[in-house]
Amino acid sequence: MAEAAKPPPASAQRVQDALAALDLASRVVLLDVSARTSQMAADALGVAVGQIAKSLVFRASRTGRAALVIAAGDRRVDEAKIAAHLGEPIKRATPEFVREHSGFAIGGVAPVAHPADMATYVDASLRRFDTVWAAGGTPHCVFPIAPADLARVAGGTEMETA
């Protein structure tokens, strides 16, 4: 008798449900290995590091609001550029802040399915690729998406983030 497929983790299912609600045919993929970093994800998928769309949450220094930056895996975010667009300095967020504002743990932050809207910035350099891969709610889950669709569903400002 065949073994039943394991259901996806709840956070990955939340991402899959959000993708479906956004009319995207993309499916969350469960990897055999952790994809906690861009390099790990690229290695697991056999793609260029730049094809990994990493979702990073920052904390605005004055107001304490959250800012999401979706950047190419081969680029380092220029925090001064993000701060200039946001209108106040930013700093790296604690794991607790990331989970509170994104609904996900660091290493699995998806670009969709957050409990509330955040100021969002999408790296324009992702358009170098036909398909990029974003975290799907856990460090073991990812999903493919066209950069134009990613920018649209993330609802953010597209800009050079590096």
CATH number at residue 127: 3.90.960.10
Q: What is the pTM of this model?
A: 0.93
Task: Tell me if 68 is assigned to some domain.
Answer: yes
Task: Tell me if 15 is assigned to some domain.
Answer: no
pLDDT at residue 2 in the model = 46
Query: What is the token pair recorded at 123?
Result: 């790296």
Using an 8 Å Cβ cutoff, are 102 and 109 in contact? Answer: yes
pLDDT surpassing 80 at residue 1 = no
Task: Tell me if 6 is assigned to some domain.
Answer: no
| Average pLDDT rounded to a whole number, residues 45-64 | 97
What is the number of domains present in the chain? 1
Task: Tell me if 38 is assigned to some domain.
Answer: yes
Supply the range of the domain harboring residue 147.
Answer: 28-159
CA 44 to chain centre: 17
Task: Tell me if 9 is assigned to some domain.
Answer: no
61-119 pLDDT, tens digit each: 999 999 999 999 999 999 999 999 999 999 999 999 999 999 999 999 999 999 999 99
Task: Tell me if 145 is assigned to some domain.
Answer: yes
pLDDT at residue 5 in the model = 57
Q: Which backbone phi and psi does 58 adopt, to 5 degrees?
A: -120, 160
Task: Tell me if 11 is assigned to some domain.
Answer: no
- Chain-wide mean pLDDT for the chain? 94
